[in-house]
Chains A and B, each alone.
Chain A
Amino acid sequence: MSTPVSIGDGVETPREPGGARMIATLALAGLISGVAIVGVYELTLPTILANRARALKAAVLQVVPGSQTMKPFTLDGGALVEATDDTPVEERIYAAYDEGGNLLGYAIPGEGNGFQDVIELIYGYDPKERKIVGLQVLESRETPGLGDKIRKDAAFVANFDDLSVDPEVVVVKNSHKTKGNEVDAITGATISSKAVVKILNVTNDRWLSHLGEK
């Protein structure tokens, strides 16, 4: 059996190749790999974008219960206007409508620091009731088994199905939730729970004053 195990010898090259040949080899390898990567990027890009758009739409329709369609909006000089294709993603919120075209609420994306890394979430807001009506965590790297309950624990997520935003959302421990604007923290994951609520309050400050009834 001939399986050489030592590293660094035994490659059959009878004579020293010139520098030009080495440069040519590397340049050619780089060129071919560049072409291959661009080709596959172009091939997969439409699918990747479609996947993202589908995930976003599913999230919007989920956090605003009963909604069927959505439309992106942005702020322009303090007024809410329909977003164009050039609007950066972080400047967008999404209006959600029922099948009759009546506005049910807005889906607002927000992000902020969690216990580990950034938490990205999206929540539904009903301007008539001034209430949060649903929440979905899109991206998080919280501790498995503890902090990741912010998306896996149905009881915690249910806190956000009917949550008043006045005067602001607050966290309470040990299931002492009594008022409409209170959220029960997850036992063992207080920091992650507080992080979610902080993101909500910061994002509310930014958007809610612009979201009167329309």
Chain B
Amino acid sequence: MAERDGGDIYREFAKGLWKENPVFVQVLGMCPMLAVTNSAINAVAMAAATMFVLVGSSFLVSLLRKVIPKQVRISTYIIIIATFVTLADFTLQALSPSVHKELGAFIALIVVNCLILGRQEAFASRNGVLLSVLDALGMSFGFAIALLCLGSLREILGSGSIFGFSLCGPHFEPWVVMILPPGGFFMLGAILLFFGWWKEMKAKRRDSVTGRVA
């Protein structure tokens, strides 16, 4: 690996937040994304658990990348990821039984979140420890932003509250479908649509600007 300067280090962290956002741009990790975002607090707990697993696995995989024979690397990554998921599961059960009850099987299912294995294979197994951890942190925060975005919108529309605090008063008729699975698809579709539109607008504006200069 070549020497990196400060700008590169920052870039590896920041790319996951927006430019390569795991949900909005890479469209990874859809299963937990749709399943647990019916309230903001669930989204936060899921994002925290995913961050723990992703950062821990990236650290270990990057540290051991020269030791692990490449033929068994995927199996080894899976063992590492599954261990971190189990640790997160027990810890959450001890810290907050009610959140654990809400998230249920989806904590255990972090192990099959393609975001995590994807980052190990595409980044941590080819880069140094510092960059891998930064990459994992950036991706986790990007995932958290996406989960929180979807979770808050769905909770506001579907329950009329945010983080459990009522926003709309007792006369609000909640839009129940929003906290049901179809609402997750609607909302995610709407957000992806917005991102597509926004990207197109930006490209158009850039074209018109360069056109004028030319």
Binding site for B on A (CB under 8 A): 1-5, 7-8, 10-13, 17, 21-22, 25-26, 29-30, 32-33, 36-37, 40-41, 43-44, 47-48, 51-52, 55, 139, 143-146
Contacts and interface: CB of A to CB of B under 8 A. Distances in A.
Interface in B77-121: 79-80, 82-83, 86-87, 90-91, 93-94, 97, 101, 121
B72 A145 contact: no
Interface string B159-194: 000000000000000101001100000000000000
A32 B158 CA distance: 44
Given A7-B122, A145-B179, A33 B83 contact: yes
Interface of B: 1-2, 8, 11, 15, 38, 65-73, 75-76, 79-80, 82-83, 86-87, 90-91, 93-94, 97, 101, 121-123, 125-126, 158, 174, 176, 179-180
Contacts of B38: 144
A13 B70 contact: yes
14 contacts: A1-B8, A10-B126, A11-B65, A11-B126, A13-B70, A25-B68, A25-B69, A25-B76, A26-B72, A37-B87, A40-B86, A41-B90, A145-B174, A146-B176
B71 A26 contact: no
A37 B83 contact: yes
B36 to A, nearest CB: 12
Given A10-B126, A144-B176, A22 B80 contact: no
B82 A33 contact: yes
Given A7-B122, A48-B94, A52-B97, A26 B76 contact: yes
A37 B86 contact: yes
A120 to B, nearest CB: 11
Contacts of A30: 79
| Interface of B (DSSP majority class) | helix
Contacts, number: 84
Contacts of B82: 33
Contact of B93 (A12, A25, A33, A48): A48
B80 A29 contact: yes
Interface centre among B38, B65, B68 (most CB of A within 10 A): B68
A27 to B, nearest CB: 10
B122 A5 contact: yes
Contacts of B126: 4, 10-11
Contacts of B83: 32-33, 36-37
Contacts of B174: 145
B94 A51 contact: yes
A52 B98 CA distance: 11
A47 B176 CA distance: 36
Given A4-B126, A11-B70, A21-B69, A144 B179 contact: yes
Contacts of B75: 26
Contacts of A37: 83, 86-87
